[in-house]
Amino acid sequence: MTTQDAASEKTWDAIVIGGGPAGTITAMGLAKKGRSVILLEKTSFPRFHIGESFLPATFDRIKDLGLMPALRELPHVPKFGADFSMGYGGKLLMIDFCHGFVDNDECFNIERAEFDTMLLREAGKAGVEVRQATVKQILKLSDGDVRLQTDSGEEIRGKYLLDSSGQSTVIGRHLGTKKPVTDPNLKKVAYFSQFANVKRPEGKRQGHPLIAMMDEGWFWMIPLNPRVTSVGVVMGADDSKRLQNEFNIAPDRMLQWAIDNTPVVKERMADATPLHETNQVLGDFSYHCRPYAGEGYFLVGDAAAFMDPIFSTGVSVAVNAGMAAVGHIDDILAGRKSPQAARKKYISHLEESTGTLFKLIRQYYDHSFRELFLNESGPFEVHKAVIGVLAGNVFPRPPWKLRWRLRLFDFFVWMNRRRRLVPRRRRFSLLKAAARMQAEPAGHVD
């Protein structure tokens, strides 16, 4: 009997779909508790993936699993905060995580191809059966009895299924629970690529991502290693269509056009060299797959929900949710908790922790929020509460010292729309830049 035949006849404690951070962290956590785990990943690693900037909260879980030595061996850039600016430039807001009511301010920027491959390798060392396979069909989803079929025709049986398949959302599609986010302000498209020789700040801030804000969305510039920087622009889906249809900007050239028309980004990119001929596109990506747990399954990471990568929350949400799922499944298998109670607790954990992040993401597109945020300080240290959330200090829920300050900050945002509380900031619009360019006579040079 081959190893694969033996695996087919075995009933695993857990089947994990997806070899990204959500899947590998979850699988590893269960394996370290003595549970039998098989992980199915459809793609050959290493593979490119965005989401290269991490939060301190991510590193807390990585340390818990003893992975810091392996992580430090990978090429990376230390990250202690982030810089924010309006698209036209002006004074930067430079935040440091250590000023945000956090115990740990350490994190990295790192290429996901390197990071994800390391995690998958370490999962195998921890006892996880790693298999390259695509899930073709879910045959049964029930507490204690899960069955699925792979593209090779193999049937795999387990007690619980953890869907960490990212935007493939295997269970969400199977159950028909994947729903787009209805808020039109959160329907976004991302255009991104990598560049060499992008200008960076000096000293400790050289690892700070730059976030440049505009009416249509925002830019990211993330240093990945001493040479390479990830650069991308996120904008509303309707704005993107208008730029394509009215101003004839091709999707695969959208990033370069946006760079050329965003002064603070253009200045940093003056000597940059593109590493790819055209940009990549990730379209209309906001959705959720509620409920986040059901009979026989738990959803982890982007397989549960994805909204907007503005605050680099993706990996942090994934690994923290994954470790929460580990605890619940281990409790179920040990008889310490009923499946119903575990599901209820897990859903509550995910809704409450991500709710704070998602609320901040929605506020980020409010110009009043941006004006207050860029002001750097506020009464009762409310700005430190925002920094604390940006550091990922929301798991399993934000501490009280953050929660009451965030509510006060909400009030200030409301008041600032009606009465100036901080200096006004000029808005910046890519659509207006496109209109100006179209209106300029041929041969005009600024």
159-186: b or e for each residue (b if 16 or more CB lie within 10 Å)? bbbbbbbbebbbbbebeebbeebeeeeb
Cβ atoms of residues 186 and 196 within 8 Å: no
What confidence score (pLDDT) does residue 101 get?
77
Cis peptide bond prior to 251, omega within 30° of 0: no
Q: Which residue is it, tokens 């730059």?
A: 210
State how far the Cα of 389 lies from the Cα of 357, in Å rounded to an integer.
7
With CA atoms as reference, report the closest residue to 364 among 318, 308, 418, 284.
Answer: 308
Q: Are residues 248 and 294 in the same domain?
A: no
With CA atoms as reference, report the closest residue to 299 among 9, 26, 6, 1.
Answer: 26
What confidence score (pLDDT) does residue 384 get?
87
With CA atoms as reference, report the closest residue to 279 among 234, 313, 229, 232.
Answer: 232
Sequential DSSP letters for 83-128: EEEETTEEEEEEEEGGGSS-S---EEE--HHHHHHHHHHHHHHTT-
Q: Which residue is it, tokens 């009923």?
A: 338
- Tell whether 86 is covered by a domain: no
Last residue of a domain, one of 254, 282, 310: 282
Q: Are residues 123 and 172 in the same domain?
A: yes
pLDDT over 60 at 107, yes or no: yes
Q: Are residues 175 and 200 in the same domain?
A: no
Last residue of a domain, one of 302, 321, 351: 351
Cβ atoms of residues 148 and 138 within 8 Å: yes
CATH number, position 29: 3.50.50.60
Q: Are residues 157 and 251 in the same domain?
A: no
Instruction: Give all strands (DSSP E) within 275-393, no chain letters.
Output: 280-282, 287-288, 293-294, 297-299, 305-306
With CA atoms as reference, report the closest residue to 324 among 344, 308, 309.
Answer: 344
pLDDT mean over 293-311: 89
Number of H helices, E strands in the chain: 15, 21
CATH number, position 188: 3.30.9.100
What confidence score (pLDDT) does residue 8 get?
59
Q: Determine the 3-state secondary structure of 372 from DSSP.
A: helix
Total number of domains in the chain = 2
- Tell whether 246 is covered by a domain: yes
Sequential DSSP letters for 373-410: HTT---GGGHHHHHHHHHTTTTSSS--HHHHHHHHHHH
What confidence score (pLDDT) does residue 340 get?
97
Q: Are residues 257 and 294 in the same domain?
A: no
- Tell whether 166 is covered by a domain: yes
Cβ atoms of residues 353 and 397 within 8 Å: yes
Q: Which two tokens stand for residue 408?
A: 């006060």
Residue 445 pLDDT level (bands cut at 50, 70, 90): very low
Instruction: Give the pLDDT confidence of 323-359 residue by residue, as tens digits.
Output: 999 999 999 999 999 999 999 999 998 888 778 888 8
Average the pLDDT over each of 98-107, 108-117, 250-259, 317-326 and give the range with the smallest value. 98-107
State how far the Cα of 128 lies from the Cα of 122, in Å rounded to an integer.
9
Q: Are residues 268 and 223 in the same domain?
A: yes
Last residue of a domain, one of 264, 282, 300: 282
Q: Are residues 14 and 131 in the same domain?
A: yes
Residues in Cβ contact with 340 at an 8 Å cutoff, skipping those fewer than 6 apart: none
Highest average pLDDT, of 69-83, 181-195, 348-362, comes from 69-83
Q: Are residues 236 and 345 in the same domain?
A: no
- Tell whether 356 is covered by a domain: no
Cβ atoms of residues 14 and 158 within 8 Å: yes
Q: Are residues 176 and 139 in the same domain?
A: yes
What's the domain range around 260?
184-282
Instruction: Give the pLDDT confidence of 383-442 residue by residue, as tens digits.
Output: 888 888 888 877 778 889 989 999 999 999 999 999 999 999 999 999 988 888 777 655
Q: At residue 373, what is the residue type? A: F
Q: Is the dihedral of CA 284, 290, 295, 300 positive or negative?
A: positive
pTM, 2 dp: 0.89
In sequence order, the β-bridge partners of residue 146 are 141, 158
State how far the Cα of 76 lies from the Cα of 197, in Å rounded to an integer.
16
Q: Are residues 189 and 54 in the same domain?
A: no
Q: Are residues 43 and 154 in the same domain?
A: yes
Q: Are residues 250 and 305 in the same domain?
A: no
Helical segments of 128-169, H only: none
With CA atoms as reference, report the closest residue to 18 among 178, 135, 124.
Answer: 135
- Tell whether 84 is covered by a domain: no
What confidence score (pLDDT) does residue 284 get?
63
